[in-house]
Amino acid sequence: VIERLCIIGVGLIGGSLARALKDQHAVAQVVGCGRTVATLERALALGVIDRYALDVAEAVTDADMVVVAVPLGAMEPIFRQMRGGLAPSAALTDVGSAKTSVVEAARQAFGALPSGLVPGHPIAGAETSGVEASVPDLFVGHRVVLTPLPESDAVAVERVRRMWQTTGAQVAEMDYQHHDEVLAATSHVPHVLAYNLLDTLCALDASHEMLRYSAGSFRDFTRIAASDPTMWRDICIGNRAAVMAVLRRYTEGLERLSEAIADGDGEHLMQIFGRAKRTREHYERMMQDQTEQGLGSE
Ligand code: NAP
């Protein structure tokens, strides 16, 4: 049991984690922390947290587990502010969608990386945000990737792992740079493409009429463009090297595709579309197998 859990950023992810641990009676007390009193009051009223503090150092005092669940761009000041209050024995983790920038933020803020730091990323979420959207079963059957550092204490890693397992998640470990490359390809660039498609189309004269005639394919492709812009701005900038590497490959592919279309090169299009369709079918079977094993997708 976690004696005192401090959640900094009681939104969709932080709130859902608190709810899940409370439901499982795996935490004695949850202290919330954030920048907006109204959010923390709402979290209190919903029973997601037991009390709150606006001062970060005060909020982390005596916590045996600290979870930072703010947008990536806010991580460094939060780490900086907790320096005076964080107990050396506390486990410290985060839920940021990119990991290199979190490790760098911690290095900048703490100087030497604290041994209690175990960066993490729950591969679960929604297009909604805020504590009102938090639910206790958000992580059930989803993966949580931990990216322990050479400095990370084995006991802290084990405590963070157990915390996530309690929420019903499957915990995996990965090197943090590798995490960022994988997530750039499977999550970050797809969000950039969805945002770009909508932004490009809405600049067209007939965009209003076009949206009226859109079908399921448009809806499927653009669902993720409803996600929080602050969060995605921070992810793109925080993981820019890996995102740019994938975007360059994508742009080359799009240019090849454009040329084939311009040339009326049906054979080339069949090759590309056929390969992509087979990959999609393979992916579908993989997801099916995972569902049967009790593992959900994002
Ligand atoms: P969210 O629902 O908007 O929650 C973020 C929380 O952080 C809110 O309570 C917000 O409070 C607070 N906050 C924002 N800026 C802050 C600042 N500068 N200082 C202190 N508190 C601040 O967002 P979320 O979806 O939970 O995302 C949080 C983290 O989880 C992000 O790092 C994101 O990359 C990661 N993540 C998200 C998903 C997803 O699908 N949503 C999935 C996996 C990981 P107020 O705005 O009310 O002040």
Nearest CA among 24, 39, 227 for reference residue 7: 39
Residue of 97, 144, 183, 235 best suited for mutating to test ligand 1, as the one with most atoms within 8 Å of CB: 97
Give the span between the Cα atoms of 57 and 6, in whole angstroms: 11
Please give the average pLDDT of every successive group of 10 residues along the chain, which has 298 residues.
Answer: 98 98 98 98 98 98 98 97 96 98 98 97 93 98 97 98 98 98 97 95 83 87 94 97 98 97 98 97 92 67
Are the beta carbons of 292 and 138 closer than 8 angstroms? no
Whole-prediction pTM: 0.94
Residue nearest to atom 19 of ligand 1 (CA): 35
Q: Please indicate whether residue 129, judged by its CB atom, sits closer than 6 Å to ligand 1.
A: yes
- pLDDT for residue 191: 97
Residue of 70, 97, 186 best suited for mutating to test ligand 1, as the one with most atoms within 8 Å of CB: 70
- pLDDT for residue 296: 59
Sorted by sequence, the CB contacts under 8 Å of residue 15 that are 6+ apart come out as 7, 43, 46, 48, 130, 131, 133, 134
> Which amino acid does the sequence have at 207?
S
- pLDDT for residue 280: 96
Measure 250 CA to ligand 1 centroid, in angstroms.
29
Query: What number of other Cβ atoms are within 10 A of residue 7's Cβ?
Result: 31
Q: Strand 120-122 and strand 143-146: pairing?
A: antiparallel
Angle between helix 12-23 and helix 154-166 axes, rounded to 10 deg: 80
Measure 70 CA to ligand 1 centroid, in angstroms.
4
Nearest atom in ligand 1 to the alpha carbon of residue 9 is 7
Q: Strand 51-53 and strand 91-94: pairing?
A: unpaired
Residue of 12, 75, 138, 235 best suited for mutating to test ligand 1, as the one with most atoms within 8 Å of CB: 12
- pLDDT for residue 130: 97
Provide the H-helix boundaries in 83-206. Answer: 100-110, 154-166, 176-183, 189-202
Bridge partners (DSSP) of residue 92 are 66, 117
